Structure 1
Amino acid sequence: MHKTTKILLAEDEPSLGQIIKESLETRNFEVLLCANGEIAHQTYKTEQPQLLVLDVMMPKKDGFTLAKEIRTEDTSIPIIFLTAKSQTEDVVEGFNLGGNDYLKKPFSMEELIVRINALLKRNKEPLTENIPIGNYTFNLKKQTLIINNTTQNLTHREANLLYHLSKNKNQVLERSFILKKLWGDDDFFNARSMDVFITKLRKKLKEDASIQIINVRGFGYKLIY
């Protein structure tokens, strides 16, 4: 990885933060270590990093609040949450706020590095401006769905999931592929989270009755229209 790639790391545990920082620097990343969410937000504004690694539980401003604020300014920067929380609702909340991935503590440095590289690679993929989906106009970059002059805003995760469904229109999108692509792992925990997002997309596409997201049991999902 090119040495100019900047990663903002927000972690309030000094020892863990230093370990992560040093490990990433051995891989030629430039790491901006911040001890709380407020410092992290200011550093984000001044340093313009390419990726964020945010601890969820931090003083002054937690990782979820920080991610929500940053997503109002930048819809595309990759965000990884570090969390001791393991409840499905907590993880879904993180994805709803614009997170791209999460790691449950304790985690291995190798796993974190693999996920960082995957997100950086994915973030370089070209974005198609407007994608017609039935009577809707979908914009991945802006994360919007428009129909009859009415605009719905999508979360980062919803937009990316819909993008891959649309790319595979009328074909089965395998669960394992999308889980590894967007969630980083195809375990049962992530699969439950994905089902929640599929339900949300169905609701947001309900104004066009010709559009369906079909569950192909045992294989995945198919977007048809």
Structure 2
Amino acid sequence: MAHSTFKVLFAEDNESSAELLIHFLERFNFEVDHVVDGMAAELKLRKERYDFIILDNLMPVLSGIRLANKIPDLNKNTPVVLLTASNEKEDVVNAAHSKQLVGYILKPFDPDKLLQKIVSVLRIPESLIIDKKKFPFSLERTQRDSYGPGVKLIGCPFQKNAEKIAQEISFILKELPNPRKFFIEVGEEFYYMKRSNEMLASLITRLASKYEIKEEDILILSP
């Protein structure tokens, strides 16, 4: 039930700039692999298939332009965008001959414009672009006659981890009545999170250990 994601390779040697863009793209449906030089990017492209490639032009070892013109076969149809400074623009236009190059973006750039470029090139329907920040995460205690006590997960747990959520659930439920079992009601927005099913499995394991019960005693209710 996890929402569709799109895999991006991002090659940028400025780690602080890279972190900002990674954080931005991961707000939406993008899983980002980041490397800091062209050679590392080439190795990634030999081993894994990506939906989109973002290359900084000036990188150590292997420049973005050179890499764009020698993308490994596994990703020979993957669209490429180059990030470049304004004084490099002419060099980029003259030197980049890759048919996969779908454009260049001048630095500093607006992340929203890059997002629009990716969405346009990949022809991603608007319905599949989910801004996780529009679905803030919260928990509330609930009760059902047929199941007993439980907790409802509301929104998307963007930038949350299983350990923190398990602690919050434990605080809300506190002591369990006998028999010691409960349910977790999971809203649709929870599944907008990358690897949401893995997070849910980790939650169940942690909570079963906390309450010294079997994992089967924690019922998951999904939409």
TM-score normalized by the length of structure 2: 0.50
Q: Larger relative CO (CA 8 A, sep 6+): 1 or 2?
A: 2
Larger Rg: 2
